[in-house]
Chain A
Amino acid sequence: MNASNDAMIKLEGLTKVFYTDEVETHALAGIHLEILRGEYVAISGPSGCGKSTLLSILGLLDSPSSGTYVLNNTPVQGLDLSQRARIRNREIGFIFQSFNLIGDLNVYENVELPLTYRGMKASERKDRVNAALERVGMAHRSKHLPSQLSGGQQQRVAVARALVGAPSILLADEPTGNLDSKNGDAVMDLMRELHRAGSTICMVTHDPRFARHADRTIHIFDGRVVEESTEAAAAPALA
């Protein structure tokens, strides 16, 4: 099978320039990247290298300054806000470092939220939300507010919210950054399970221990991809 045809994400010459008053900041300086369907990719690099900017563009939260971005064989860099919202809702699941659960909504409602933007019927939503919560082991906490949960539990709810809409790809931005090692490991195990079940995952991390879980790690420095390593190649280096 031709790898390009099976690419979930394909970036070519992607740049991102931020303009602040009279200062130009080149956050991304010509990124070429492919992520295959079912692949688990880690993006790593030092602080300020552009990895979070890249994830924002991958998640259609931000637009590139130039270059092309093809998601699921569809160029998405020129879409309008409404089309981008639709793709975010149906194709992408986000997991954030700080969980980003909405404090006023309980666990069930937080997980349900992306489905409500899809206009799905309540009965179908209920089935999907319950399934997602079961999958992350949080069904028993569905009526709790985020403030009543530990960090690890909140992140599991965030994972449930990311996968409840059956997205094409999960984008995770330092998903363990706010967790202790035990909870961090648990979340990484959960991610691995999802990957094994067929999910495509792209995770930003600066922690080599967690990058090791991915099939492939892309190293970014000063807005460029400077190195790619597969799990097999990376493992001895980390040992």
Chain B
Amino acid sequence: METLLRELGHAARGLNRSRGFTAVAVLTLALSIGANTTIFTWASAVFLDPLPGVADSGRVLVVQQKEPGNNEGYVSLSYPDYRDYRDRNTTLSGLAVTRNVMVSLESDGTPQRLYGQIVSGNFFDVLGVRASLGRTFAPEDDRAPGESAVLVISHAFWQRHFAGDANVVGRAVRLNKQPFTIVGIAPREFRGSALGMRLDVWVPVMMQAVVEPGSTRLEERGNRWLEGLGRLRPGVSRETARAELTQIAAQIGAERKTEAGRGRSVGLFPIARSPRGGGAVLGPVMLVLASVVGLVLLIACANVANLLLTRAVGREREMAVRLSLGARRRDLVRQLLVESLLLAALGGGFGVLLASWGEHALQAMLPPTDYPLGLAVGLNGRALGFTLAVTTLAGLVFGLVPALQATRGTTSGALREGSSAVAGGRRRQRLRNALVVTQVAASVLLLVTAGLFLRSLGNVRSFDLGLDLKGVGLASVDLVSSGYDSARGTAFYRELLERARALPGVESVSLVRRVPLGLGGSSSTSFEVEGYEAPKDDPAWAYVNNVGPDFLRTLGIRLVDGREFGPGDDAQHPEVIVVNETMARRYWQGGKAVGGRVRLGDDWVSVVGIARDTPFTSVQEPPGPTFYMPILQRYRPDATVLLRAHGDPASHQGALVGAIHALDPSLAVFGLRSLEDHVQASAFRQRLGSQVLGAFGVLGLALAMLGLYGVLAFSVAQRTREMGIRTALGASVATLLRQVLGEGLRLAVLGVLLGTGLALALGRLVSGLLVGVSPVDPATFAGTIGALLLAASLACAVPARRATRVDPAVALRHE
């Protein structure tokens, strides 16, 4: 220990004396370690601790179903399905269900709009979450619909709204205008079971009809609206549980002969890998970011290793002296490693400071939305442990090779007076060159990936989505909170449409339940198509959306055939739907969809129009079969007003809110934004990718160029005498420039070739995150390579110029 402390002291003194070197090395390491820590805190919040406050969350899995033949993905569970899975399985210690909802909570006369979850009675038990005050739910809360008017609130809401009043348990409140009682406060860390969201209230699933007025889904087996959450029993594997649940699905299908349960499979996913929700959005992009910061760290380590190799030349005599005094090689290696680890520790310390700033950057990059988005990102013990590990690893990686190199040479030459012999000089130069090539290659990989994301982001903006985004403003209303029933709500919609249509500059107005390409999720349903015999293992299904009159016109969606909804498509008239092109093609197979009929539940409804395909959930997914229902016919209380008008949508917001409040001054209006902004939110992954990768790409490039510059500058300095001789022998300025530039650019080109090869090979890993651009996009590759070679030329220019300025008289006197 005494030896270590002494060497630490010497190392600190040595670094203090070489302040320029220390500053560059520490800054390089701080940036890269800070980037790694930041991304670790982000990725940790997604992968390692996706559900804060949940005990052993790694064993909690999302349960979803996949219908045979349905390539569009997994769907949720119906409540009857859930009951069967829950009661028949032996591999899960508990299976709960949830649904994210928005509610209005009134405790002192002022309604609060909150996001929460409808949950089964065993939800908290399955997650292993105990109330910090009062109680959570119990299986008794699942007994009968409408009987458990109780709720649990979040710790944050309790603090925010009730100032932490302990007497709040047992207090009567009104949820969506109905009386409820607060029975418990969730623990501080617990945010609900939706990754990336901070939820404030939990209500028993039996109160669904109160929370979502106008629908009673509990007993509808075909209505899949609940997210399953199961906890694996100890010792049971995910695959075993999945196989058992799939078997139960088959049993259900066999027992209910009309159901398409046969062939249905069940998927069990870790929270962060769920094909829907926050995991689907954040998981893949976090994996890319984690790989990218690893590359940045590699570049930084290569850079510092290069600096240390250069520094080692200046310390060769010191090493020789130490060896002559009886130091063993391992003594010297240890001493040099202490120095590298001290450098790394300084870099790590500053890196943590940078990361403490960077942890908030993710929040700033989240899309503008009303949803309470936010990951539990923080510099906790795990993050600091990671930083310590990365710092130590970095210190060893960049320190070991130079240390071994520095202690490898013979000693006697270096000890002689005036000796300029550099033992192993050529070997070291080769190593330095290899490090620069590695840096350049990694930079190409980074920059190409950033370029691909940037092009994707641009494509999201310019992609032909089948929507005319310009000039459309959005405003959401919450009729649930105000206690509107179906008749009153429909009348409100009808009146609002008329008033808004009359506003100055307005071209058209409509309503929609789910604005396309939002974060609000999707609804799908299965149905029967007249004249179409669905294969037994592939029932007809489609996404469904409730829209107002003039919906297609307002959003600029082309009507391919038939008509769209008008004000007359209401409850007093026969039920109608408009289908998209994919649905028409799939279920009418060349025949005419308009005039066809679809059975939804017990009712037959007629197809009156075909709309152009537009993406519904994500710009990356091919449009699935979709149909629209008139909201004046099938009421939904949670609609968004769409207003197409001349000029900036923001300039019409005030008038629209005024029109809403003229009808009901107490109505909450929220989510005021343009359709363009809304669609941008769907490009969150591309924006996050392009911004973060762009920043890291530039950092990587700067470090690589610094490395290239350093190697060339050192090479020129070492060869001052050679340059002098060449000049004395008549070499022209151009010849010397060509020689040094060629030397540097050779390394850059080698790095570019290696990096391009890697980028071509690894591009498919990010292809799922790209929009409208191939992972081997020639323009992106050409642009990146061009930019990098230009930067490399600039990095080589300074040493090259220095080489041409060598005074032969001075250089030849040298040594």
Contact = CB atoms under 8 A, between A and B. Distances in A.
Interface of A: 52-53, 56, 59, 61-62, 81-82, 85-86, 88-90, 94, 96-98, 100-105, 109, 113-114, 116-119, 122, 161, 165, 173-174, 177-178
Interface stretch (B52-60, B261-269, B412-420, B558-566): B412-420
Counting from the closest, the 6 A-B pairs by CB-CB distance are A89-B326, A56-B412, A114-B325, A61-B412, A85-B328, A100-B321
Contacts of A62: 410-412
A89 B325 contact: yes
Given A85-B327, A104-B14, A177 B412 contact: no
The interface size bin for chain B is: 20 to 34
User: Which of B2, B10, B321, B418 lies at the interface centre, i.e. has the most chain A CB atoms within 10 A of its CB?
Assistant: B321
Contacts of B327: 85, 89, 117
Contacts of A105: 10
Contact of B331 (A61, A94, A100, A117): A117
Tell me the interface secondary structure of chain B in the complex. helix
A94 B325 contact: yes
B324 A88 contact: yes
B802 interface: no
B415 A118 contact: no
A118 B326 contact: yes
Contacts of B415: 61, 96, 98, 100, 173
B401 interface: no
30 contacts: A52-B416, A61-B320, A61-B411, A61-B412, A62-B410, A85-B326, A85-B327, A88-B324, A88-B325, A89-B327, A94-B324, A96-B321, A96-B415, A100-B317, A100-B324, A101-B321, A102-B321, A104-B14, A104-B17, A105-B10, A113-B325, A116-B3, A116-B6, A117-B322, A117-B327, A119-B3, A122-B2, A165-B326, A173-B416, A177-B417
Contact of B323 (A52, A61, A104, A177): A61
Nearest to B9: A109
A117 B317 contact: no
B777 interface: no
A86 B327 CA distance: 8
A165 B324 CA distance: 13
B648 interface: no
Nearest to B331: A117
Contacts of A86: 326, 328
B417 A174 contact: yes
A101 B418 CA distance: 15
Looking at A56, A62, A82, A104, the one whose CB has the most chain B CB atoms below 10 A away is A104
A151 to B, nearest CB: 12
Contacts of A97: 416-417
B673 interface: no
A61 B325 contact: no
A194 to B, nearest CB: 18
Contacts of B14: 104
B537 interface: no
A165 B10 CA distance: 21
A103 B314 CA distance: 12
Contacts of A88: 323-326
A89 B322 CA distance: 10
Nearest to A57: B412
A117 B326 contact: yes
Contacts of B412: 52-53, 56, 61-62
Contact of B324 (A59, A103, A174): A59
A75 to B, nearest CB: 19
B329 interface: yes
Contacts of A161: 325
A116 B14 CA distance: 18
B13 interface: yes
Contacts of B324: 59, 61, 88, 94, 100
B313 to A, nearest CB: 15
A167 to B, nearest CB: 10
A174 B17 CA distance: 30
Nearest to B330: A82
Contact of B10 (A100, A104, A122): A104
Nearest to B322: A113
A157 B431 CA distance: 37
Nearest to A90: B326
